[in-house]
Structure 1
């Protein structure tokens, strides 16, 4: 007969079976994990640009594209004339004051001489007017003095007649006659004084008018002198001739371009930005121009008044226009400073950032691996990007280009 197995032994057998099954499952899980680890995408630490999330200040900027250009100076003809001689050619290096071409200035010089003669005539007429005015005013002043003496004498006669009349030696008629003469002389004196005052004001106005005419004549003469000097077509700076009208004998109108010189030692930046940001641009606004790792400061010098193809163009004047990294035609990133945000979460700027919005960035976890995380980013400048949500202070974020790992959620980091 079969012997009944004790319950204790049955329980032990079940435990052993369960332990074996659990061991097999654990080994399988470990194997799966090992296989997953073996097949997990990996990246070398040396290939990553990493930024710590911290709090700080962001001087917000808007980004524009720019191109370095040399300082071109257009030289226009100051007068309507013809070209007599061309002394330089395109590509020539010239110094300050180098004569580029000669213009026919006979008419301009004649006009200047006529203007000089006219100015001298104005000066002589001014001197003559002053002499005549002085003579006439002196004559009136003398008449006033004579009239004052006459009034004083008649006043004395009135007092004498009144005294004689009080003694009985005079008559009332003589007193009245003396008083009438005195009052008449007073009116004549007052009339002369008013005439003298009016004459002074009129003479002063005449002299002021004549002086103004002389000043206008002198200004016109000065303008003609400068025009004549400008007609000597010279280089205003040390530069290279990039254009010159070499048609000798050709007529040129006043204001017509005859030459262009480019200063290849001083540069500026021609930039463009979407017209949606036009209200954030202003003359004198602070600008940072980035060339590689170098940052050059400058300011907005001019802004085009109209939009073209959805963009606004503006010119940046650099604080150091002779920086060693500047080359004509070099493309640059231009950051127009807009506002300041204090005490905000931020990470370093990089090629990953293309504007405000939602991003998926790789963040280091505690196991030395990278995990993809949704992050919302805000404003930026040339150094930092504002973190709105998705990260906390102390997080380490990959800020290099990770496009090739777009489909991965985890990455293994190799030393």
Structure 2
């Protein structure tokens, strides 16, 4: 049989329920108030890098990568096919101009050279012989001309005598005609000899020139052989450091193959590479900034390779201080080629966050206790500054260190420096 519950018990149970509802409401209100605050991250101010937005000159530049190489590097090649007999130096040695580096087996080349020397002497003797023969032949022909001239002179005298006798009545007309015919014939023969002598002079002179030209051509070939033989005495062309050398004694080297490399390690240049999309912004004569560690070296683009390969263009930077102590051959560096200058531009410091012109979400310091995410539009950059196009104003303090781990936050509490 059911019994009626007392009113006091019902009232007590009702108060407990309402008390529970009130506690739940208080907890809900507290959660709404405190949970966003608890979700805000906290970061130490001393762990961040800040940049204050300012206004000034911005040298717009193109970023590229590069490598330090010796300003003067000379490759030594073998001018002949030969075998390495001896090696006198090793990589890393300092060498003076004319220092022997390698010895090649040049016996066959030397034999060929001496053979050419003998052939040169033979050609010279043939030329001398031809010159003497020409002089003898032309001398005989000149003598014939003189003899014929004397004969013509005697014929002329005979003709005058016959004409004189004919005028006195002691001669005859036939004898005068015979004398005239003999004289005219002698004159023609003299003219023929003189013409022959002139022609023979030209022919013999041309023959002599041909032989002289053949000798000159052969001497040039001999000179080339001599130069090849001298070049085969592999020596350092300058005072430098021997950076590479073929030390395999007994190995065969082909003509034009590299056997050694000498480099002037007191002066350097930078060989740079950039995307070919920047080809219209990198030109010879442009100023450049090279970052060697934390040191900045200025220079100028001295040359640009006209062709690109695999989407990469190459260029060379001549440094103002090419003998800086920080420069080392093979060292990788960052290059910034300046292609424009903008005055009165809003700027912030360049950092790892910047990957090109566009929109970014950066944290801006507001007051002394928090960072607020803000959408910012950035433009071109220099090697150490970035142009601000929108979203920031002069005097704003922006975080420029890596904040990728906080990208899901809109606000960050800032712990002040202790």
Does the 8 A contact of 1:350 with 1:400 survive in 2?
A: no
Does the 8 A contact of 1:346 with 1:384 survive in 2?
A: no
- Residue 66 in 1 paired to residue 66 in 2? yes
Q: For each residue in 1:150-209, what CA deviation from the matched residue of structure 2 results, as whole angstroms up to 9, or x when unmatched?
A: 334434444444444444443332333233223222322222222222222222222222
- Any unmatched runs of 5+ in structure 1? 1-42, 363-371, 409-415
- Residue 78 in 1 paired to residue 73 in 2? no
Instruction: Indicate the SS of the match to 1:233.
Output: coil
1:21 aligned partner: none
Distance 1:253 1:160, change over 3 A: same
How much has 1:301 moved relative to structure 2? 5.4
How much has 1:328 moved relative to structure 2? 1.7
TM-score (norm 1): 0.64
1:105 aligned partner: 106
How much has 1:299 moved relative to structure 2? 5.7
2:196 aligned partner: 195
How much has 1:110 moved relative to structure 2? 1.5
1:269 aligned partner: 270
How much has 1:305 moved relative to structure 2? 4.5
Does the 8 A contact of 1:287 with 1:300 survive in 2?
A: no
1:303 aligned partner: 305
Distance 1:158 1:381, change over 3 A: farther
2:252 aligned partner: 251
1:312 aligned partner: 313
Instruction: Indicate the SS of the match to 2:263.
Output: strand
Q: Which moved more, 1:313-322 or 1:249-258?
A: 313-322
2:135 aligned partner: 134
Distance 1:350 1:384, change over 3 A: closer
How much has 1:82 moved relative to structure 2? 1.4
Q: For each residue in 1:295-329, what CA deviation from the matched residue of structure 2 results, as whole angstroms up to 9, or x when unmatched?
A: 54456457375523x01224455576434443223
The 5 A counterparts of 1:7-22 are: none
Distance 1:48 1:83, change over 3 A: same
- Any unmatched runs of 5+ in structure 2? 1-44, 363-373, 411-418
Distance 1:190 1:67, change over 3 A: same
2:233 aligned partner: 232
The 5 A counterparts of 1:119-198 are: 119-198=120-199
Give the alignment's Cα RMSD to 1 decimal. Answer: 5.3
- Residue 221 in 1 paired to residue 217 in 2? no
Q: For each residue in 1:239-280, what CA deviation from the matched residue of structure 2 results, as whole angstroms up to 9, or x when unmatched?
A: 333333222222222222222333322323222233356588
1:207 aligned partner: 208
CA distance in 2, matches of 1:346, 1:191: 97
Q: For each residue in 1:125-151, what CA deviation from the matched residue of structure 2 results, as whole angstroms up to 9, or x when unmatched?
A: 222222222222222233233333333
CA distance in 2, matches of 1:93, 1:174: 101
How much has 1:86 moved relative to structure 2? 2.2
Q: Greater Rg, structure 1 or structure 2?
A: 2
CA distance in 2, matches of 1:346, 1:161: 120
Distance 1:301 1:183, change over 3 A: farther
Does the 8 A contact of 1:86 with 1:246 survive in 2?
A: yes
CA distance in 2, matches of 1:398, 1:189: 114
How much has 1:51 moved relative to structure 2? 6.7
CA distance in 2, matches of 1:161, 1:256: 90
TM-score (norm 2): 0.63
Does the 8 A contact of 2:124 with 2:215 survive in 1?
A: yes
Does the 8 A contact of 1:115 with 1:221 survive in 2?
A: yes
Distance 1:50 1:334, change over 3 A: same
Q: For each residue in 1:25-81, what CA deviation from the matched residue of structure 2 results, as whole angstroms up to 9, or x when unmatched?
A: xxxxxxxxxxxxxxxxxx9xx965777568x9x9x9876532211244322222212
Distance 1:326 1:152, change over 3 A: farther
Instruction: Indicate the SS of the match to 2:76.
Output: strand
How much has 1:212 moved relative to structure 2? 2.0
How much has 1:105 moved relative to structure 2? 1.8
Instruction: Indicate the SS of the match to 1:102.
Output: strand
Q: For each residue in 1:219-240, what CA deviation from the matched residue of structure 2 results, as whole angstroms up to 9, or x when unmatched?
A: 2222222222222222233333
